[in-house]
Amino acid sequence: MDFSAILLAGVVGSGVIVLADKLWLAPRRKKALRAAGIDESADKENMPVLIDYAHAFFPVLLLVFLLRAFVVEPFRIPSGSMKPTLLPGDFILVNKFTYGVRIPIINKKVITNNEPQRGDVMVFRYPVNPGDNFIKRVIGVPGDTITYTDKKLSINNKVVAKELLATETVVNDSGQSVTVKHWLESLPGKDHNIYERLTPGLDAQGVVVPAGHYFVMGDNRDDSDDSRVWGFVPEDHIVGKAFGIWMSWDGVNNRIRFDRIGDGVE
């Protein structure tokens, strides 16, 4: 069960208790107090603990649920698959209505808005295990033909331009030092940074993106579990568009990366 389902259960549970208290339980308690010659205001001081907690937490849980479901939701980056754009320990904010309004839990779209565009950094439910959330960059939209061979990306038979910025040594998720080339890649309408190792990588040969699906890749091209491995992201698996970093924790050096807080996700 994911956090949204747990949160919904908390909202429903506390809401039922609050409603039952207002309709039946509170009137009975007040009646008993009047019969004993005690002012009704004493009910608040002697309210059962469970009911007291329900009254306190219901509005908070409801507000959090509505914000997460329809406005913005926080996520933590667990791996280095989106380096150098996003680092492990980055805490990001995801816009939940950019791609339309969806019913929580079942993720059914009820209000259509924008569609994902090439270059968007998108959070989605992992097609292999929908209980997990993944974050990748949209490379192909419905109808596109994607080819990635020998580190060259082509969309609809047009090679995507990239400019070499540097050759760097970075640490991967296993703690090993690896040499990568740091490129500025230019998707149509979107420039972004990527890493590529010097060793051969995983290719994709003339893949056509079907209707209602998207082809995604990590910016850390040779350390990413993405559409080259498990296929396309169905439209009903989309969660939202990443737009900002609100906190960043460097787990290796145990410190906050203050220089990343407030950065946008491009």
Residues involved in catalysis: 81, 136
Cα 94 to Cα 56: distance, rounded to the nearest angstrom:
28
| Under 8 Å between Cβ of 77 and 88 | yes
- The tokens describing 188, both together, are 């149509």
Q: Would you call 152 exposed, middle or buried from its count of C-beta atoms within 10 A (0-12, 13-18, 19+)?
A: exposed
Task: Specify the DSSP class assigned to residue 120.
Answer: -
Cα 29 to Cα 61: distance, rounded to the nearest angstrom:
26
Q: Would you call 83 exposed, middle or buried from its count of C-beta atoms within 10 A (0-12, 13-18, 19+)?
A: buried
**Alpha helix ranges (H) inside the chain:** 3-20, 26-35, 49-70, 227-230
